[in-house]
Structure 1
């Protein structure tokens, strides 16, 4: 089994875990670039699947700095807010997003 296939197999149980943790009508607010969504199926189909397709295969881990806030009722997540440091992920992938913005706008970077 390739390393990529092994990683896919490791995250396969995630969908079932989302079903157990989130209420079926939970409001999920993942922040940019995603729109608000409802329920664990939407979280899996929109955010998780999109990220799995979008991230390149890497030989090293990528760490995501983030903050999560949740409202829990009757043992299930009813609302979930996530704020991720997307610029740090880009930095780890070798993309200098701030320099790209400077090039696109012709502006200068603050020092």
Structure 2
């Protein structure tokens, strides 16, 4: 066995439920204040999502954010994250590994 058959890690998108490599997905974590934070280095329970508006909408419709992150996530936080991860950033897959601003939940 030469190791050439190794596939590597796979993660499941909480929106479409398809598996993909971590480089194809965006990791979300729940902040202490209930906000959603984008980034692979944030501590705590994480969820993986394609940077695709359809996946964000499907995850919101299915209430997958709250289940995956084991906490209440407000609709405003989901909308803010949806806009942030689907916005073009000039990098492959529309993301960077640099820390981003938090999408804070607010009552409207």
Larger radius of gyration: 1
TM-score > 0.5 by shorter chain: no
- The higher-RCO structure (CA 8 Å, 6+ apart) is 2
Query: Normalised by the size of structure 2, how large is the TM-score?
Result: 0.28
TM-score by length of 1: 0.28
Q: Is the strand fraction higher in 1 or 2?
A: 1
